[in-house]
């Protein structure tokens, strides 16, 4: 195991927390479904800055300024017990408690150890992320945002984790971009806008929402986990040509002429079919492909495009193994396309109303850890991860860390070359081996 040493751990607070007005952010059913999800972990690898750059103090100082605007990240989750009906409610208190900042060193690890040419993800990278098995409900004690800056032999990795109740990927990367701009320029730019919170958008639903206490207790990792086959991570690269081929194939198999399968849907469907083909599940078995849908513009009236908060909701396309394998790429992509389209204003409202009436199964998390019947498409190639330059150079790679790690977790990033996609897949080792030997799968990706 590689040597990684934590040099310091501190709390970074907003320079001035008055801006928050100590806002309370009320949580919707779309947030609360994620109460037992792990904090997502992401990170960017950078070249090594000049030794005179004053890396840690500049990152911390600029973080403190960025948190003045993005004050929800410096808040805490508050749990209120409602004794009258044995339930609990939650909100986010923007109290300026601060975010955690870890400084680490891994001087023996180089960029070339980190980025394997075949897309393998070395086991040690989990040390480069800050979360220690945090779930959303832990936000009552733990920071809603934690960062770890690790100085390597010839590079720097900035890993972070965040509570999904406070933000989704879109909001997280907006924050990250603002932070990088403040760090590189040394000040807040003049075109800088105050944060727009998403606000309460569910007319007819009262907050705070009451959740049965039993659903709010922290779920423990299941005992059997250790005996389950271990997972491995692998990054698959899709070139522009790979994507356009998959997209053309999917669209040619779908007959409706006014329907358009997107690149992301075509790539997701290819991964879904290929992984399930090697899952060893019986042909009648139902499988799920969960995709994160951004609800901001799907509501009526729509929310501000860039409003801050969590507006990502995981919805599931469902198909049996038999259907997936026999009906082809276009059909699978169409199921994903349909489930995304079905997130209309009406359906969101119905979902929210039904959810409140019957809160259950929160402890299942993102999917059964032991079943291998679920694919989760997280993050998005639309998030601009490579435009985050803190003042010493652009990122050279993006990676996801442990968390919600079922076999079948797919984290999508844009590739470093525009128009390409990288998919970091977490898979059982034997599924990965079979996938790499599958001509039909490998034909459409670039492994080296
Ligand atoms: C903090 O922010 C508030 C509100 O924007 C402002 O009125 C106040 O002057 C600021 N305080 C400092 C010390 O900058
Ligand atoms: C995938 O991309 C690579 C590199 O561009 C190419 O060699 C390969 O033929 C592509 N496969 C398909 C099916 O487009």
How do residues 404-441 score in pLDDT, each as one tens digit?
888 899 999 999 999 999 999 999 999 999 999 999 99
Ligand 1 atom with minimal separation from the 16 CA: 1
Q: Is the CB of 19 under 6 A from ligand 1?
A: yes
Nearest one of 113, 112, 126 to 231, comparing CA atoms: 126
Distance 174 CA to ligand 2 centre (A): 32
pLDDT above 70 covers a percentage of the chain that reads 95
The closest alpha carbon to 175, from 13, 396, 385, 416, belongs to 385
The dihedral sign for the CA sequence 19, 12, 183, 312 = negative
Q: Which of 122, 13, 32 is nearest to 75 (CA)?
A: 13
Ligand nearest to the backbone CA of 267: 2
Cα of 414 from ligand 2 centre, angstroms? 17
- Of all residues in the chain, what percent carry a pLDDT higher than 90? 83
Domains and CATH numbers, the chain: 5-216 (3.30.559.10), 228-442 (3.30.559.10)
Pairing of strands 76-82, 421-428: unpaired
Q: Is the CB of 444 under 6 A from ligand 2?
A: yes
Residues recorded for the chain:
448
| Per-residue pLDDT reduced to its tens digit, 119-157 | 999 999 999 999 988 999 999 999 999 999 999 999 999
pLDDT band at 236 (very low <50, low <70, confident <90, very high): very high
pLDDT at 190 over 70: no
Contacts of 8 (CB under 8 A, 6+ apart): 102, 103
Which residue's CA is minimally distant from atom 12 of ligand 1?
16
The answer to whether the beta carbons of residues 274 and 441 sit under 8 Å apart is: yes
pLDDT at 223: 45
Residue 365 binned pLDDT confidence (cut-offs 50, 70, 90): confident
Numbers of helices and strands, H then E, in the chain? 11, 16
Residue from 240, 242, 263 whose mutation best tests the ligand 2 pocket (most atoms within 8 A of CB): 242
Give yes or no for residue 239 CB within 6 A of ligand 2. yes
Residue 87 tokens read as: 């339930």
Ligand 2 pocket mutation pick from 119, 236, 238, 239 by most atoms within 8 angstroms of CB: 239
pLDDT in the model for residue 194: 86
pLDDT band (50, 70, 90) for residue 228: low
């Amino acid at each position: 195991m590689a040597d990684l040493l934590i040099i310091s751990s501190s709390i970074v607070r907003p320079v001035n927390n008055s801006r928050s007005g100590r806002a309370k952010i009320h949580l919707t059913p779309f947030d609360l479904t994620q109460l037992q999800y792990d904090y997502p972990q992401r990170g960017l690898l950078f070249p090594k800055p000049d030794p005179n750059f004053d890396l840690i103090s500049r990152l911390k100082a600029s973080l403190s300024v960025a948190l003045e605007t993005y004050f929800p990240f410096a808040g805490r989750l508050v749990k209120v017990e409602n004794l009258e009906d044995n339930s609990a409610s939650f909100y986010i208190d923007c109290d300026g408690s601060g975010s955690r900042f870890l400084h680490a060193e891994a001087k023996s690890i180089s960029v070339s150890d980190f980025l394997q040419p075949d897309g393998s993800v070395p086991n040690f990278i989990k040390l480069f992320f800050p979360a220690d098995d945090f779930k959303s409900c832990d936000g009552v004690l733990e920071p809603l945002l934690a960062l770890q800056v690790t100085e390597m032999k010839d590079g720097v990795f900035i890993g972070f984790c965040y509570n999904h109740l406070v933000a989704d990927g879109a909001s997280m990367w907006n924050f990250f971009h603002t932070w990088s701009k403040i760090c590189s320029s040394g000040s807040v730019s003049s075109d800088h806008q105050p944060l727009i919170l998403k606000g309460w958008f569910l007319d007819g639903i009262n907050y705070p929402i009451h959740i049965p206490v039993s659903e709010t207790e922290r779920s423990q990792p299941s005992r059997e986990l250790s005996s389950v086959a271990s997972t491995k991570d692998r990054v698959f690269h899709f070139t522009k040509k790979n994507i356009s081929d998959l997209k053309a194939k999917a669209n040619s198999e779908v007959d409706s002429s006014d329907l358009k399968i997107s690149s992301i849907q075509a790539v997701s469907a290819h991964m879904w079919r290929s992984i399930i083909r090697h899952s060893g599940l019986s042909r009648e078995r139902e499988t799920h492909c969960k995709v994160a849908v951004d609800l901001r513009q799907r509501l009526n009236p729509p929310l501000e495009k860039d409003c801050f908060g969590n507006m990502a909701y995981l919805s599931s396309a469902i198909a049996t193994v038999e259907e997936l394998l026999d009906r082809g790429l276009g059909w699978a992509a169409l199921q994903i396309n349909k489930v995304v389209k079905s997130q209309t204003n009406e359906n969101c409202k119905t979902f929210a109303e039904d959810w409140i009436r019957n809160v259950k199964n929160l402890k299942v998390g993102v999917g059964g850890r032991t079943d291998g019947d679920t694919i989760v498409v997280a993050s998005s190639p639309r998030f601009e991860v490579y435009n985050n330059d803190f003042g010493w150079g652009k990122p050279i790679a993006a990676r996801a860390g442990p968390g919600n790690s079922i076999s079948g977790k797919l984290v999508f990033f844009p590739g470093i070359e525009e128009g390409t996609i990288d998919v970091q897949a977490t898979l059982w080792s034997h599924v990965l081996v079979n996938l790499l030997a599958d001509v039909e799968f490998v034909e459409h990706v670039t492994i080296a």
